[in-house]
Amino acid sequence: MSLYKNFKESLERTAETSGRSLDKIDLIAVSKKKSIEDIRQVIQAGHRSFGENQIQEVENKWIDLKKEHSNLKLHFIGGIQSRKVRSIYEHCDVVHSIDRIKIIELFSNLEEQQGISREYFIQINTGNESQKGGVILEEANTFISNCLDNYKLNIVGLMCLPPFNEDPKSHFMKLVKLADQFSLPSLSMGMSNDFKVAIECGATHIRIGTKIFGERN
């Protein structure tokens, strides 16, 4: 799996240049639209942290894969529909895209019923883009406070997707500042095109698809 190997080497160099420890950066291999065979190659290379953004793909690929490999960690990184919450909760270990109180309530109810705790990130819409999910910046403080004060979910950090045509650094730094205000330790930011900047800014979780799996069909 030369793409994966090459990316790991690039990641190591970036971490070293940025003065970051590799073991503080969770590399999430985003297997969106990729086959079970493609995923197995990355698992065989030693990787254990993966991400999907559609629950149908999770259900089609990961139920069997997680039975085969009990130490895999699956991250859900897509938009969340209310009717999909139960399946996301049952099949994924980490959820990166919490952005509505209704969704928080549904996950909270499931955790109370099932007694199994997951990890959650609140998605922040740092560019206030109408077509994107996430809590807009003007409402972020109130939303985060509400989540932390009134619900028992294990909210570990914040996530963002910077606007495509803007310098990602300013958006990453907005996320850093917001997370610091609430003493949230984790930052899910950075993809194939901007992961180096994200690591320099302090990303703890980077979501990499094409640089590991190649272009999607």
The pLDDT tens digits for 55-85 are: 999 999 999 999 999 999 999 999 999 999 9
Instruction: Show the tokens assigned to 27.
Output: 């590399």
Cβ–Cβ < 8 Å for 188, 96: yes
* Single-letter code of the amino acid located at 109: N
Instruction: Show the tokens assigned to 104.
Output: 């928080």
Distance (Å, whole) CA 156 – CA 118: 10
Dihedral angle of Cα 75, 80, 84, 85, to the nearest 10 degrees: 70
pLDDT per residue over 109-168, tens digit each? Answer: 999 999 999 999 999 999 999 999 999 999 999 999 999 999 999 999 999 999 999 999
Q: Which CATH superfamily is domain 2-213 in?
A: Alanine racemase (3.20.20.10)
Element (H, E) at 189: none
Distance (Å, whole) CA 93 – CA 90: 8
Can you give the pTM of this predicted structure? Answer: 0.96
